[in-house]
Amino acid sequence: MKSYYLGIDVGSVSTNVVLLDEDNKVVSKKYLRTQGKPIRVLQKGLRELRQENDEFRIKGVGTTGSGRYLASIIVGADIVKNEITSHAIAALNYVPDVRTILEIGGQDSKIIILKDGIVTDFAMNTVCAAGTGSFLDRQAARLGLDIQEFGRLALKSKNPVRIAGRCAVFAESDMIHKQQLGHNQEDIINGLCDALVRNYLNNVGKGKEITGPIVFQGGVAANVGIKRAFENALNTEVYVPENHDVMGAIGSAIMAKEKVKKTGKTNFKGMDISDINYKVKGFECSDCANMCEVVEIYADKKIVARYGDKCGKWTNKLKNNNDEQLA
């Protein structure tokens, strides 16, 4: 039976799961839309991995992303790390001397600066929609284009136009204005790619020392128009890894491998967790002025985890009474 390491990245837009072998090569991967249902989508991803691969065992599992703690409870993670660390570890696996990581996802973007393989600076943007993948998706739909064609059309531009990219509202208004003036679609799309890159560099990359080698990752890295716009703006080559869309999950799997080598065991609960009926409930504790929102996770009516209480009162109560049942 083959053995793999499992990496999980639960974000607000996508939930990514990967299987890595001992050489850190991706054996199988899933990029799924979270759709506000992180547990169900995670279970779906695990089911699909199980169906598409011969019988295997998991030697270690790591989680990352905004839903990393929730995912860690469900699967029994060996390590839980933030997105910055996970993306950096994954990029170093592909380009060992990487100095700058540009990452643009569905609803946020980030830049990571490294020196000698160590993260020295980073910045995230979770506010401006103009610099994200969801904005590009929306504009592609408005123009009646498949997002897969969006970047390739930008490369055909002969007379690019300047699109205001300071915010999503201005960019969309300017695109409509340029359409009304009769500009070609490929020129407008190319202008939008340039605008997104200007927005990114002026906001997320502001004040950062961006030097090569540069790795571009995240779902938007599939857009060749954006890649070229970055290369033109930075006047250097930008490298896009083959599995650029699941780099966070890859990084968490690599860290899980290192962790279980030290501990000699994994906490993974097994692939059968994809068949368990999970429910999440919450309540506001009124025992003190903190008014903590306590989250409870039930597996087949049994409480398996609680978190959110700053004092640990409810968490500790669960530890002392593993037989609490759903009312």
| CA dist., res. 8 & res. 249, Å (int) | 5
Check pLDDT > 80 for residue 150.
Answer: no
Check pLDDT > 90 for residue 317.
Answer: no
Q: What pLDDT, in 10s, does the model give residues 57-69?
A: 999 999 998 889 8
| pLDDT recorded at residue 169 | 65
Other CB atoms within a 10 A radius of the CB of residue 11 amount to 21
| pLDDT recorded at residue 45 | 93
Of residues 114 and 149, more confidently modeled: 114
How does residue 166 score in pLDDT terms, banded at 50, 70 and 90?
low
Check pLDDT > 60 for residue 5.
Answer: yes
| pLDDT recorded at residue 324 | 46
Mean pLDDT of 29-56: 89
Check pLDDT > 80 for residue 25.
Answer: yes
Domain boundaries, the chain: 2-89+248-274, 96-240, 278-324
Q: What pLDDT, in 10s, does the model give residues 249-271?
A: 999 999 999 999 999 999 999 88
Which tokens in the block code for residue 164?
Answer: 């205001």
Q: Which of 12, 197, 211 is nearest to 121 (CA)?
A: 211
Domain 278-324, architecture per CATH: Single Sheet (2.20)
| CA dist., res. 293 & res. 54, Å (int) | 42
Q: What pLDDT, in 10s, does the model give residues 206-249?
A: 888 899 899 999 888 888 888 999 999 999 999 999 999 899 99
Q: What pLDDT, in 10s, does the model give residues 274-301?
A: 888 888 888 888 888 888 888 888 887 7
Check pLDDT > 90 for residue 95.
Answer: yes
The reply to whether 96-240 shares the fold of 2-89+248-274 is yes
- Read off the pTM: 0.83
Topology given in CATH for the domain delimited by 96-240: Nucleotidyltransferase; domain 5 (3.30.420)
Q: CA torsion 222→41→82→292, rounded to 10°? A: 140
Domain 2-89+248-274, architecture per CATH: 2-Layer Sandwich (3.30)
Q: What pLDDT, in 10s, does the model give residues 178-201?
A: 777 777 878 888 888 888 888 888
Q: Do 270 and 264 touch, CB atoms closer than 8 A? A: no
Q: Is the Cα torsion angle 283, 127, 113, 23 positive or negative in sign?
A: positive
Burial of 38 (0-12, 13-18, 19+ CB in 10 A): buried
How does residue 322 score in pLDDT terms, banded at 50, 70 and 90?
low
